[in-house]
Amino acid sequence: MAIDSATSAPPRRRAKEAAPATPCIVGIGASAGGLEAICEFFGAMPDDSGLAFVIVQHLSPTQKSLAAEIIGKHTAMSVQQASEGVRLEANRVYTLPANTYASIHGGCLHLGVPDNARGPRLPIDHFFAALGEDQHERAIGIVLSGSGGDGSQGLRSIVENGGIVLVQTPQSCEFDSMPRSAIATGLVSQVLAVGQMPASLLAYASHAYVADPLPRTSAKEGNAAIEEILRTIQNLRGYCFGGYKRNTLLRRAQRRMSLHSVADVDAYVALLKRDPKEVEALFKDLLIGVTAFFRDEDAWRLAEKEIVVPLVDARPDDEPIRVWVPGCSTGEEAYSIAILLTERLRATGKNCPLQVFATDTNEDALEVGRRGCYPASIAERIPPELLARYFVEDGEAQRYQVSRKLRETLIFGKQNLLRDPPFSGIALICCRNLLIYLDPESQRKVISIFHFALQPGGYLFLGNAETVGRYEDVFRPLARKWRLYRHTGGFTPNQLEFPIRESQRTPDPLPTAGTRCETGLPGALAGLTQQLILERFSPAAVLINARFEALYYSGPTEEFLQMPRGAPTHDLLAQIRDGLRSRLRSAVREAIAGNACVVVDNARVWRGNTFEAVRFSVLPAGSNGVGDPLLLVVFENVASAPSPLGSEGRMVRQLEDELQATKEDLQSAIEQLETSNEDLKISNEEIISINEELHSINAELENSKEDLQSLNEELKLVNRQLQTKVGELEASTTDIRNLLASSEIATLCIDRGKRIKWFSPGMGALCNIMAADIGRSVDDLAPGGFGEALAEDIETVLRTLAATQRELRSPNGHWYLRRSLPYRTENDRIDGVIINYTDISEARKQAEEIANAQRSAAGMLEEQVRLRTAQLRTLMAELGLIEERERRILAQDLHDGLGQLLAIVKIKLTSLEDSERRGTLKKPLKEIEDLIDQSNRSVRSLMQQLSPPVLETLGLIPALEWLAEEMERSYGLSVRIDVDGPPPVLEEPARTTTFRVLRELLINVAKHAGTNLAQIDCQQDDDGRLTLSVTDQGKGFDYEKALSGSRVESGFGLVSARERIEFVGGQMNVDTQPGYGATVSISFPNKAADI
């Protein structure tokens, strides 16, 4: 917010103007972290500001408040704890006792016990609501640091009644939930640092807006001032406030001017032009967005009975219910009506789609409604069962959010009711406390719009101070006090005063005489002619309803009707001329009862100085659409025949007629009197009942008075006993004080409620506590001052009755041993905890030195283990390479040695075959030859397994194909090889290691998987990463369990394989679970594989 130069002066300046007779009252709401802000505030506030301050804090119900003593050290103003009925005076600060709610009436504080039946404790909301209603422009609310959302509901009352609300900047708060919740309402006047608030308050309190709530400026001057401001708003913001009451707008503009110490309209207009933030603040202030859930509970309770229940019950299943809530602000009333309708639909089991159109011109307020997040204080206004069903509580943020299902029934949209087209086909319009801010002409136009928008038989719900004006004939009241109406009939186009935008053209006038008629004009002239004929020659007639309310007049009704003195009325019986009232009442009742035309021929009406003969007829005219009968009363003059009587006879006849009319009127008066007597009897019975109750209450009060007198005597006796005890305690206190002063150990004694009972002098230096802190809870003092987990240790001692100890470090670097022991009374009752703080800095230092030495030794040992591990890994890799070389040498030796010998033996046997083929050694030689062939094959297989030549000569894929054949031949395992892309070429030693690992994996599949089928997949990613995997559909296994088992049964082979793969630069992953087979993947980065 922009701050005028007049408000930026040093806040310690003296107040220049004398305080008004009734001071402005500043309500300061604070919670966690707010005491420091309060002290800072009063440190900057002048001592003669002329303001009265009331501080409302969140306090423990059982804790004695020390706010007055603490705040009194930061200001020269008188600081006192409030008492019941105290009148607030200027330059004084009032704090509240614990466990009390404060309200204000007539400038006097009233204290009460909070109602904890349901919902959170919200003393700030309670006081702010009362402050706004009592002080109006002189009400000032300040929201400081605190958690939760207390204050955000009550500030609405302050703003609605003309006061202002200041909020501490969230960045400067220790806990910012309360300030942010207040800011989210969009009703905050200024957001300031605590040190800037006093200057703003002084500027506001000295402004004419507060000093003279009823300004002496003329209406012409006031209108000129507000019109200049509104033109500026329209030019800068694009919104026209045409139709709003100028007085209301002027007062709200003056409130904004007061915050900047601006008294001149031109100066304020200049401020608006250079400060866009002030334009936005004034715009929101002028929109007057104040609302609440179920505001005026009696009205909502009756609306549920008279509107919601019949509306839902009469609605066919699956037919939508359309509701319009214009001027919805932040959406509380829109959600309220949606909740009631949803509840009724739920009770009846109907599936009617619900559509609630919530409209407003303030986009920020609409956004709040769309989110559906509201402070915890709404729990005071919403019944618990509805709160649980339609809201989700966020305990940490202390707020409620409307359930998603309910939010989906509402549609929030931006609409200017006076400018934009309305909705149509609406079953219910809820527009409360909007019309009161509009001028009479705009009110009439809005009601005509509602008349257009509502369905026949629809409902209208207005605010307590609002009416339908001249539209009473189309809106039948269901409850006049709470402004509940029902639409009684259809809509005719000439009844709508549709909003006209400034950009629309004005209709062309009708052509004058001599102007050539355009198309459609003859029809219009015909209608005009018919209307003139009806007005000139038709009989006098009145359309009424069953309540004798005149709905339409036709013809020369002035001969039969006359408007009575006093307030205007539509009551036909009040308008009818003398002589016809009784006959008309009877005829109307007869026509309604028989639903037939009733003609009265011998009626006489008083005109001038005589009665004249008339005839009138009462004709049923159907209903108005909601079941109310309509009747047409037609009056006719009857020509009187010449009377054979003389002048004296005519006079007698006239007197007889007058007497008969008087009798009929008298009978009507008697009937009304009897009805009134019955009402009075009922009222009298109620008064007698109330009087009896008052007598009973008075008797109870007398008994209570006697009890109090007896209690007072007992208290006097106890007081004398206490005085004796006080003397003994003073002596004991002196002894304890000297004992504590001589002890070097810091000692703290607290009671079971964690309140400080006493402490030794050493505690003052250790924890910075003072004598004024005695009686305060350790939880309310600076957190961490007594060391961490103090509350936990206290609870442990009180629960287990055993001592605890904990080592702590103070901010100055010293170490203390905190020992907590139970505090035992003389009768061995645990009445608190004794806490001792012993300085162990030296012992701690020595222990740390030993620990550092141990850590250093452990670090060196870890480094040696790491080096040894690396060496072992290198050695194992080298052993693997040596093993491979040995395998190759052994294979070569088998090939060159045993293989050659077997080949020579085979050749020798072959040479003997021909010579001995016919001899006796033929069969043995054949057997020897077969054994040599078998040995030769075994040698070749052994050579291949030791070092397959195909791996070196052809590469990995051919070697795997050979391995697949070997697995099929040796183990009966069918292996499928799938290569995606060109065959990879691995460099040594990765190639050989990979081949060995894949061979081991296939052997494991053959031996343990319980399957005869396996697959090897080989693929290479775009980034060159090579992946080979072995997959089987066997029984699988628990990999983690296998790793934790014995080496014989575990996956030690898998661990060894993984280490070998990692040594050559690869990675190995195992994906398996019992019953789902296994997949072992080996992957190499681009540097290990070359396509």
pLDDT interval class at 336 (50, 70, 90): very high
Helix or strand or coil: residue 27? strand
Q: Are residues 453 and 563 in the same domain?
A: no
CATH number of the domain that residue 548 is part of: 3.30.450.20
Q: Is a pLDDT exceeding 90 seen at residue 143?
A: yes
The HSE-up count of residue 686 (CA atoms within 13 Å, CB side) is 6
d(CA 748, CA 758): 6
Query: Looking at residues 528-535, what average pLDDT do you find?
Result: 64
Q: Which amino acid is at 222?
A: G
pLDDT interval class at 54 (50, 70, 90): very high
CATH number of the domain that residue 415 is part of: 3.40.50.150
Cβ neighbour number for residue 510 with a 10 Å cutoff: 12
Residue closest to 769 by CA, chosen among 14, 47, 66: 66
Contact 1088, 1027 (CB under 8 A): no
Q: Are residues 258 and 199 in the same domain?
A: no
Q: Is residue 275 part of a domain?
A: yes
Q: Is residue 731 part of a domain?
A: no
Q: Are residues 57 and 170 in the same domain?
A: yes
Distances (CA, A) of 283 to 187, 286, 326, 612, 1021: 11, 5, 18, 65, 63
Q: Is residue 117 part of a domain?
A: yes
Q: 17-46 pLDDT, tens per residue?
A: 433 457 889 999 988 678 888 888 998 999
Q: Are residues 488 and 365 in the same domain?
A: yes
CA dihedral (451, 452, 457, 462) positive or negative:
negative
Joined tokens for residue 299: 């009205």
What's the confidence (pLDDT) of residue 288? 62
What's the confidence (pLDDT) of residue 706? 44
Distance of CA 486 to the CA centre of its chain: 34
Final residue of a structural domain among 287, 303, 325: 287
Contact 412, 331 (CB under 8 A): yes
Q: Is residue 732 part of a domain?
A: no
Q: Are residues 181 and 249 in the same domain?
A: no
What's the confidence (pLDDT) of residue 675? 74
Q: Is a pLDDT exceeding 70 seen at residue 115?
A: no
Q: Are residues 394 and 322 in the same domain?
A: yes
pLDDT interval class at 1007 (50, 70, 90): confident
CA dihedral (446, 449, 450, 451) positive or negative:
positive
CATH number of the domain that residue 253 is part of: 1.10.155
Q: What share of the chain is helix, strand, coil (3-state, %, to 5)?
A: 50, 20, 30
Q: Is residue 927 part of a domain?
A: no
Q: 642-669 pLDDT, tens per residue?
A: 555 555 665 676 567 667 666 766 776 7
Q: 63-100 pLDDT, tens per residue?
A: 677 778 888 888 889 898 888 889 999 999 999 887 88
Report the chain's mean pLDDT, rounded to a whole number: 77
What range does the domain containing 790 cover?
Answer: 743-839
Residue closest to 542 by CA, chosen among 551, 533, 531, 532: 551
pLDDT interval class at 344 (50, 70, 90): very high
What's the confidence (pLDDT) of residue 1046? 52
Distance of CA 1079 to the CA centre of its chain: 51
Query: Looking at residues 403-429, what average pLDDT do you find?
Result: 87
Q: Are residues 235 and 295 in the same domain?
A: no
Q: Which of 321-325, 902-906, 911-915 has the lowest mean pLDDT?
A: 911-915
d(CA 330, CA 570): 39
CA dihedral (271, 273, 274, 277) positive or negative:
positive
Final residue of a structural domain among 287, 308, 336: 287
Q: Are residues 234 and 262 in the same domain?
A: yes
Domain count, the chain: 6
Q: What are phi and psi of 89, to 5 degrees?
A: -120, 155
Contact 579, 661 (CB under 8 A): yes
The residue ranking higher by pLDDT, 504 or 466, is: 466
pLDDT interval class at 338 (50, 70, 90): very high
Q: Which amino acid is at 902?
A: L
Beta strand 610-623 pairing with 804-809: unpaired
Q: Which amino acid is at 72?
A: G
d(CA 82, CA 89): 12
Q: Is residue 1026 part of a domain?
A: yes
What distance, in Å, lies between the first and last C-alpha atoms of the chain?
Answer: 69
Joined tokens for residue 474: 């189309």
Strands (E), 949-1037: 974-980, 985-986, 1013-1020, 1026-1032
Q: Is a pLDDT exceeding 60 seen at residue 134?
A: yes
d(CA 115, CA 101): 9
Q: Is a pLDDT exceeding 80 seen at residue 215?
A: no
Q: Is a pLDDT exceeding 50 seen at residue 580?
A: yes
Q: Are residues 386 and 488 in the same domain?
A: yes
d(CA 1031, CA 1079): 4
CATH number of the domain that residue 35 is part of: 3.40.50.180
Q: Is a pLDDT exceeding 60 seen at residue 521?
A: no
What's the confidence (pLDDT) of residue 236? 63
Q: Are residues 319 and 265 in the same domain?
A: no
Q: Are residues 482 and 597 in the same domain?
A: no
What's the confidence (pLDDT) of residue 806? 83
What's the confidence (pLDDT) of residue 527? 60
Residue closest to 322 by CA, chosen among 204, 455, 193: 455
Q: 832-883 pLDDT, tens per residue?
A: 888 888 888 888 788 888 888 888 888 888 888 888 877 776 776 677 667 6
pLDDT interval class at 552 (50, 70, 90): confident
Q: Which amino acid is at 858?
A: A
CATH number of the domain that residue 1038 is part of: 3.30.565.10
Q: Is residue 615 part of a domain?
A: yes
Final residue of a structural domain among 287, 307, 335: 287
Strand partners, 429: 324, 460
Q: What are phi and psi of 386, to 5 degrees?
A: -70, -35
The residue ranking higher by pLDDT, 370 or 775, is: 370
Q: Is residue 433 part of a domain?
A: yes
What's the confidence (pLDDT) of residue 898? 67
Q: Are residues 277 and 296 in the same domain?
A: no
